[in-house]
């Protein structure tokens, strides 16, 4: 349903620090339903492709290197108003600017290592979900 699905990744730093369970708890308690999920690792080429919209920006190379440095958790989440509500739950991109109680305020350590990614539009949520998941890996009621 348009507007009710978002895509997220728990980034390598947060996976390495064993924050997956705590972050998923926050996601569930905020009312999101997990429709697809996997622990996987992107190659450098895959991370470059996933973030190609940022190609040429000063942080791109560091972002690609970090995002391919270890396993991530990718997930499709469903909730009414999913894109906006999820971005509110995770907080500002730079954890220094993230509100108290948000995922990034609690678990991020820098703007690159900012604990989680969240899609910023319906179009990108679809593209990002399709990047990781086949139709057989998605489970809707």
Least gap, CB of 136 to ligand CMP (angstroms):
26
Angle between helices 82-90 and 122-132 (to 10 degrees): 80
Euclidean distance between CA atoms 93 and 111, whole angstroms: 6
Residue 59 or 140: the one with the smaller Cβ distance to ligand CMP is: 59
Strand partners, 106: none
Q: How many C-beta atoms lie closer than 10 Å to residue 136's C-beta?
A: 7
Least gap, CB of 93 to ligand CMP (angstroms):
5
Please give the size of the binding site for ligand CMP, defined by CB under 6 A: 9
Euclidean distance between CA atoms 90 and 98, whole angstroms: 8
- Cα–Cα nearest to 5, from 27, 34, 29, 30: 34
Q: What sign results for the dihedral spanned by CA atoms 54, 57, 63, 68?
A: positive
Q: Is 124 in the site for ligand CMP (CB under 6 A)?
A: no
With CB under 6 A as the contact rule, the residue among 14, 79, 115, 117 that binds ligand CMP is 117
With CB under 6 A as the contact rule, the residue among 8, 68, 102, 114 that binds ligand CMP is 114
With CB under 6 A as the contact rule, the residue among 93, 105, 106, 126 that binds ligand CMP is 93
Record the tokens describing residue 42, joined without a space: 């992107």
Q: How many C-beta atoms lie closer than 10 Å to residue 43's C-beta?
A: 9
* Residues involved in catalysis: 117
Q: Is 111 in the site for ligand CMP (CB under 6 A)?
A: yes
Residue 118 or 133: the one with the smaller Cβ distance to ligand CMP is: 118
Site pattern 32..61 for ligand CMP (x: CB under 6 A): ----------------------x----x--
Residues that bind ligand CMP (CB under 6 A): 54, 59, 63, 93, 111-112, 114, 117-118
């Amino acid at each position: 349903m348009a507007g009710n699905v978002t895509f997220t990744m728990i980034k390598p730093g947060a996976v390495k620090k064993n924050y997956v369970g705590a972050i998923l708890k926050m996601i569930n308690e905020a009312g999101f339903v997990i429709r697809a999920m996997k622990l996987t690792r992107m190659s450098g080429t895959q991370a470059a492709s996933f973030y190609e919209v940022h190609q040429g920006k000063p942080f791109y190379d560091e972002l690609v290197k970090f995002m391919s440095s270890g396993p991530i958790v990718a997930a499709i989440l469903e909730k009414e108003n999913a894109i906006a509500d999820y971005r509110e739950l995770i907080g500002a991109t730079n954890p220094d600017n993230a509100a108290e109680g948000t995922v990034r305020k609690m678990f991020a350590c820098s703007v690159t290592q900012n604990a989680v990614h969240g899609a910023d539009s319906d179009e990108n949520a679809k593209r990002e979900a399709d990047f990781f998941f086949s139709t057989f890996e998605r489970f809707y009621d």
